Amino acid sequence: MELDPSLMADLRQVGQDLYRFGLVTSHGGNLSVRLGSHVWITGTGKRLGYLEATDIACVSETGELLGGATPSSDTAIHLAVYRSADASAVVHAHAPHAVAITASAAVFVPEDLEGRYHLDDAPVVDQGPGAAERVAAALAERRVAILRDHGVYARGEDLWAALHWVMALEESARISWLRRSLVALSPAREE
């Protein structure tokens, strides 16, 4: 199985963007792309900001390793998304504001215009057994979902679309965070 150079270029650039914008730590997050009956996915423990072709794994739709690196430990989640949602790419990141603001929420509803326009809302699903199927079910209905206390998963027709939804969600979460901070601070400022 040969990794197409243009696909590798997209994986590398999207990984760099996630790292540059603080959406993953040095070894966090993962990316995948579905091409026909197989899936290219970043290897476990690889650094998204510095991806090389040897960091990428190729697996079948059922998770059988077809070549390359040891696949991400999140491979089962990516494959579950491809089974149930209209997606050709999945991005998983550790968007800090989105995770923090939904710690005890069932859903995140953007308060800003852009977020409402692009995302409607983002379901929050719980960790534990069945999490892969819960993420997949959420992404069958929405472009991005949050795994509680962990990170976000987005789907798209390509990596760039999935990156867009991750960034849109994080921006909306950051705006909501700022708004709530201002409200919390306002009584003190009036004294």
Please give the residues from 137 up to 176 whose contact with Zn ion meets the rule CB under 5 A: 151
Contacting residues for 190 by C-beta, under 8 A, at least 6 apart: none
Residue 15 is a binding residue for Zn ion (CB under 5 A): no
Beta carbon of residue 115, minimum distance to Zn ion (angstroms, whole number)? 22
Beta carbon of residue 181, minimum distance to Zn ion (angstroms, whole number)? 26
Tell me whether residue 16 or residue 25 sits nearer to Zn ion (CB atom). 25
Q: Is the Cβ–Cβ distance between 94 and 49 less than 8 Å?
A: no
> Strands 89-93 and 30-35, how do they pair?
antiparallel
Coil/strand/helix, residue 31: strand
Query: What is the CA angle 69-14-76, rounded to 5?
Result: 45
Beta carbon of residue 148, minimum distance to Zn ion (angstroms, whole number)? 12
- Residues 123-146: b if buried by 16+ CB within 10 A, e if exposed: bbbeeeeebbbbbbbbbeebbbbb
Phi and psi at 157, nearest 5°, equal -75, -15
Tell me whether residue 123 or residue 151 sits nearer to Zn ion (CB atom). 151
Beta carbon of residue 103, minimum distance to Zn ion (angstroms, whole number)? 16
Tell me whether residue 36 or residue 129 sits nearer to Zn ion (CB atom). 129
Q: Which residue is nearest to Zn ion (CB)?
A: 151
| Binding string, residues 93-132; x marks residues near Zn ion by CB under 5 A | ----------------------------------------
Please give, one letter per residue, the 3-state secondary structure of 109-168.
CCCCHHHHHHHCCEEEECCCCCHHHHHHHHHHHCCEEEECCCEEEEEECCHHHHHHHHHH
Size of the site for Zn ion (CB under 5 A): 1
Tell me whether residue 43 or residue 151 sits nearer to Zn ion (CB atom). 151
Beta carbon of residue 74, minimum distance to Zn ion (angstroms, whole number)? 6
Tell me whether residue 68 or residue 151 sits nearer to Zn ion (CB atom). 151
Beta carbon of residue 187, minimum distance to Zn ion (angstroms, whole number)? 37
Q: Which residues bind Zn ion (CB under 5 A)?
A: 151
